Structures are given as structure tokens and as C-alpha cells.
Amino acid sequence: MAWRKSSYSGQGGGNCLEVGEGFVGPAVPVRDSKRPEGPALLIPAGAWRAFTAGLHTGGL
């Protein structure tokens, strides 16, 4: 699986999340970019869509 992080993250190594791409299932894998060997959280797909929609509309 490939991991990506926001283009807003920059290269400073700050607090960034990475999102797994190409994961097939009812959840979205998310991990800490500073600890790629660490565990990933599986966020229910509907909750992830609501979260990202809130980011795009400025609701969060």
C-alpha cells in the first residue's frame, strides 16, 4: 500500500498524518508520519468522508 500526506504538510517533519491509498475495505488507514513503522488507525470510511468534507468547507 502507498501512503500519502497532505501537500500542506511541508518538509519540516512536523505533526503529519499519512493516509493509505488503495486499501480495499470499509475503513481508511491513517498513521503518524514520524513513526511509519508504528500502528495505523482504521477510521470508518463514512467518518473519514465527513472529516475531510468538514476540512474542505471550513467546518472544522
DSSP helix/strand/coil, 46: helix
| Assigned C-alpha cell, 43 | 477510521
Q: Given this model, what pLDDT does residue 10 score?
A: 67
Taking the chain (60 residues) in runs of 10, the rounded mean pLDDT of each run is 81 79 90 92 95 87
CA–CA distance, 47 with 49 (Å, rounded to integer)? 5
Residue 25 has what pLDDT? 86
In order, the DSSP letters of 5-34 are: E-TTS-SS--S-EEEEES--SSEEEEEETT
Q: What is the pTM of this model?
A: 0.76
Task: Look at residue 59 in the predicted model and tell me its pLDDT.
Answer: 77
What are the sequence ranges of the domains in the chain?
A: 2-57
